[in-house]
Structure 1
């Protein structure tokens, strides 16, 4: 359920933003707006506060009368610091992918760290507790691959390959694999060691990796890990925790970090 107002720290984190309201009864967006602070919540309050005729407010009243509420999506936030053609392209990619059809773009576009999220998801991430574990772990950053609502299979596929690391050589060995995106743990698995290593060819790469590695003509095969494993027994205790410093040091561009080993 959406709050009546947003905490000051969340308002500051959002900055200037673009949002959409979705009707949960049919999954369709019926309103797009922009604002600051808790503007995204004003429409429901306005609908309940009076009977002013308006297509938007009437839609919200109908949703509420059936025991539901509009779902708020933040399409882009912190827009005051940069607005560009690349940013707008990324907004369109996210919106089309979420509500209309699967696009053929290999990557999501610019600024995805501030990309499309449900308001509930943003609030949950902002209030996340720090990651706490004594277990030896390897933390992989799956970055743009993660989107809110990603399937379990796609999440596992993004987390398990291809990493140029040797977790079995750490002391103690890293048998816990954690996938993070946006400084939040999104998945946790117990992996088998030693890790399976193989030469990675162009044919082994998905579209996302190909987009980052260039063209087949310029690609050089490399040796990397592909992990085998299963959902970790402590999934519910680990997923949703934040990795912001000082929980983990900054990665400075590295795709993986070790914890407790």
Structure 2
């Protein structure tokens, strides 16, 4: 090949379906000679990995140079690794890539808006401002610390982690006043739900807790008199009902630090 590619990003593509199944990058060699790394994927005797098995099946119908596509070339030094990583992140959401690694700079990689807010959010609300909001609206804010949160959770999984399971006094479980359940990760508010009903733990299906986990939770810790393990069902709170999703809670100007107890009622 003519030595014109410099730093480049390439993709291995199924010519029949046009589906990308691998993304890689190569840095230019001295004297701007082309790095032939893209062709090295075809140098194997026995197909072992998913990538090699895919290549072996395609070579029965296509030439390797029909499979290799150049995505971007002549990139400035240090840029190709970011283009490669961005493509891997983006394509991995709906494409079966055979890459074994995400690529460099995973801390800068694809994240949900909620995760970015948790890590880098700059909107803050003082705890006493939340108390004032609850008093003015005559509602209860039930802050729930979600210790097992992961950034790859789907929306329904965050909902299930938030809604169960908690030791709730019967008065509060009877919804003596409208209640907003606030999902917190550290001092960051991920989202909020309008509680429709509190039910005994395990009443409804959960995508994150199974029967055994519920039994363990029910037998863990000493419940205060009148408190029983419950879950809620609810709906995502509107902006009017709770305008502080994606905010971070502060106490006297410092990030809120949760005590051992993972539930806090504000009213």
State the TM-score, normalized to the length of structure 2: 0.45
Higher helix share: 1
State the TM-score, normalized to the length of structure 1: 0.46
Higher strand share: 2
Higher Rg of the two aligned structures:
2
